[in-house]
Structure 1
Amino acid sequence: MGLAGRRLTWLLDSRWFWAGLISQERSPALAVAGCGSHSAAVLDRSGATVAVADVLVECEWTRVLDATSTARAVIQPGLDCCGPLGRISTWRNRLVVFRDGRYVWEGPITGISWTLGGIEIRARDVTAWLDNRVVHQDRTFTDVDVMEIAEWLIADGYAPDDPGHTVQVIGRAGISGSRSYSKNVGQTGDHLRQLAEAGLDFTAIGSKILLLPETHMAGVGRLSDADLPAGLEVAEDGASLVTRWIVAGSEQSGALGEAGGIDPFYGLHERYLEQNEITDDASAAQAATARRRASMPVPVFVDTQEVTLAPEAAIDVPSLVPGWALDVTSAGTCRKVAQRLKITGVKVAETGGDENTPGQESVQVQVAATGAEAA
């Protein structure tokens, strides 16, 4: 059945049964991309169902690494649905998206537009709450794995008012650091993103926040030119190149660390950064080393562009989780690729269709190779 006219007939609670997380490498033969069909629903903060998207005209959801993902749904209300959809509210309600009956995205609604032709809902994933939270207590960490600091930041951010979240740690970062946080100073989301530049990654899948070591490279499938009928784009991001990093801690501590220098191939590209949470030289040096690893050599990004993966591609779309990796082999451009690359972004969209004609789905995947991936 097409995108329009489909009804959500399964229990919304089925999202809690979604395996969701790949803890080990899977054989690409276990699944193929296929051509997915989407459904959506709006839930209340309490967990109750507010409305089901009887006629879903458009649907789009993303996943990103070390940032907040988004989703969008355009709904044509039915006779029994306009009332509930007219009463939904930003931050009070959340959007839940399913692909072929599998729970793939959830997050608070942050924007709503009502028109004569329908309702457009815009939402962000559960980490959006952390951008609306500050640190709630003074806390100092001395020479601990930065993953432990990330866990505390998330727990502290949600502690006064938890909209419903879980955290899963895939592994320790393997990088130690010392940090100090002051009550009511700084947004929690900013603090978490700064940590993500010091040796760890995070991503949100539904209401779950995954914390991963930066070197995590477990594979979830493979792509070749045959899987990409419209081709791909390989790009170098020269603006991200830094051969020498200098990181300063708080003014009170006087902490200062550096990593790198003149590269025989690229020359010298220096960057200075202040992180007031850092309290000693060793942590500043660790942060500088992590940043240099991510910016040397020049990061290379592979983008499948706005294309639909071939239905036979050895990819399970709901398992495309940023932080995991794909084995990419391509000779379709002058820059040949044949290596395992980390997933940094996913975008899935379905538009058009009616009760008799399937909608068109596009699946876009971004993968990257940086010094962190090479490690």
Structure 2
Amino acid sequence: MAGCASHTAQITDRDGSIVAGTDILLSVEWSRVLDDISEAQVVVAPDAECCAALSRVRTWRHKLAIYRGTVPVWEGPISSSVEWTVDGAVISAVDILGWLDRRSPHTTQEFVDHELAEVAQWLVDDGFAPHDPGHAVTIVAPSRIRGRRSYQADVGQTGDHLRDLAATGIDFTALGSRILILPEDHSARLASLSDADFADELVVVEDGLALATRWVVHGKDGVKGVAGGVHPYYGLIERVVEETSILDDASAEAAARSRLAASCPAPVFLDSQEATLSPDAGLDVPALVPGWCVDVTTTQTCRTISQALKIATVKVKEDSDSETISLQLTPAGVGG
């Protein structure tokens, strides 16, 4: 079950040595995010010895690690700020993907008819190549989309290139020091949930603004891909987008198909940026990873649903009063 647990945190140096503990945590917040960087923050009320250690904490040099009970759930470089106050310190960090927004491609590379998951792995490995904080890449499953991509040394940020690639058929997320790459239509299930597993009443929404029956994707230098057309039920609803990182028609068509799969029929989902779980929900919190699905059945509204929803964000907060666990759930892709 999701349950309730207490968190601890630790600050370590680049070489792995412990810089400071966090004996008294006033609050802790951590998240996991699909196709982007997650953040964490701890508020510490240190004793005199811990205060001296915290005074040595430096951004981008040191790393924050968070544990739920005894299980490691989050880690990454202390990045945006460290705030020292008379009462203690507020420490903010990003996950390991945050480094890639501070890295550029180090090699000029062109991929022709290449599996997109392998292109994503190259971007990550190349970004970390000159100075690796300690990372690993796991391709959970291939995207089954092949295409042409080109990258030039010292042009653009690696993180932006990875997000652009995620718009055309892959997903990625950070789990500690490991970066997971998976297909956009990944359909592995973690659990089945019903109304009783959520702390708040659920609202079911059909997102008409996301509906499209025909997609046109424009790549670079006249490259174009099209998917869909006049739908027998919805009629014709068209969307056009430009993806300059796409260099060939086959890749553009694959990107168009990927967008069509996510937008037709009209996506139906739970209207909550943060659907709060009940402590009795049948989920193991450390196993909640963006990109995986949960089967959700809700019958409390006029529009009942029973479908797979993809985890887009996991957010956990603990303060002196309680722990809350929230999920952002989005429509699953093809195979969901």
Interval containing the TM-score (normalised by the shorter chain): over 0.9
2:47 to 75, 78, 83: 78
Q: How many residues align?
A: 335
Q: SS of the counterpart of 2:98?
A: helix
Between the aligned residues of both structures, percent identity stands at: 50
Question: What RMSD in Å do the two structures reach over aligned CA positions?
Answer: 1.8
Counterpart mapping for 1:2-41 below 5 A: 32-41=1-10
- Alignment of structure 1 residues 277-356 onto 2, 5 Å: 277-302=245-270, 309-352=277-320
Query: Is 1:274 the counterpart of 2:236 in the alignment?
Result: no
| Residue 131 in structure 1 maps to residue 101 in structure 2 | yes
SS of match in other structure, 1:289: helix
Q: In the alignment, which of 63, 74, 77 is matched to residue 108 of structure 1?
A: 77
Going from structure 1 to structure 2, the CA distance change for 1:236 and 1:75 (only over 3 Å counts) comes to farther
Alignment counterpart, residue 68 of structure 1, candidates 27, 37, 43: 37
Amino acid aligned to 2:199 = P
TM-score (normalizing by structure 2): 0.94
Residues in 2 aligned to 1:262 and 1:88: alpha-carbon distance in whole angstroms: 59
Spell out structure 1 runs of 4+ moving beyond 4 A: 303-308
Checking the alignment, whether the CA contact within 8 Å between 2:149 and 2:245 is kept in structure 1 is: yes
Counterpart in the other structure of 1:43: 12
Deviating more after overlay: 272-281 vs 198-207 = 272-281
* 2:111 corresponds to which of 100, 122, 141: 141
Tell me the amino acid that sits aligned with residue 336 of structure 1. T
Unmatched segments (≥5 aa) in structure 1:
1-31, 353-358
Structure 2 residues without counterparts, runs of 5 or longer: none
The structure 1 residue matched to 2:217, chosen from 244, 247, 261, is: 247
Identify if the C-alpha distance between structure 1 residues 182 and 60 changes in structure 2 by more than 3 Å, giving closer, same or farther: same
Three-state SS of the structure 1 residue aligned to 2:300 is coil
Query: Greater shift after overlay, 46-55 or 256-265?
Result: 256-265
Secondary structure class of the residue paired with 1:314: coil
Aligned counterpart, 1:191: 161
Q: How far apart are 1:308 and its partner, in Å?
A: 5.3
Q: Which amino acid aligns with 1:185?
A: V
**1:311 is paired with a residue of what secondary structure?**
coil
- Shift of residue 60 of structure 1? 0.7
Residues 38 and 100 in structure 1, CA contact (< 8 A), matched pair in contact too: yes
**Paired amino acid for 2:167:** E
**Counterpart-to-counterpart distance in 2, 1:301 and 1:44:** 42
1:170 is aligned to 2:140: yes
C-alpha distance in structure 2 between counterparts of 1:167 and 1:349, whole Å: 27
Aligned partners of 2:276, 2:149: CA distance in 1, in Å? Answer: 44
CA contact (8 A) 1:301 1:366 kept: no
Name the structure 2 match of 1:94.
Answer: 63
SS of 1:81's partner is helix
Q: What SS class does the counterpart of residue 37 from structure 2 fall into?
A: coil
- 1:217 paired with 2:187, answer yes
Aligned match of 1:263? 231
Q: Distance in 2 between matches of 1:37 and 1:215?
A: 34
SS in 1 for 2:48: coil
Change (3 A) 1:120 1:238: farther
TM-score (norm. length: structure 1): 0.84
Partner of 1:355: none
Alpha-carbon distance between aligned partners in 2 of 1:279 and 1:76, rounded to the nearest angstrom: 53
How far off its partner does 1:273 sit?
2.6
Q: Is the 8 A contact 2:34 2:290 kept in 1?
A: yes
Shift of 1:162: 1.0
Report the CA distance shift for 1:250/1:304 in structure 2 as closer, same or farther (over 3 A). Answer: closer
- Residues 214-260 of structure 1: per-residue CA shift (max 9 Å, x gap): 22111112211112232233334433333322222222xx3211212
**Residue pair 1:341, 1:373 contacting (<8 A) in 2 also:** no
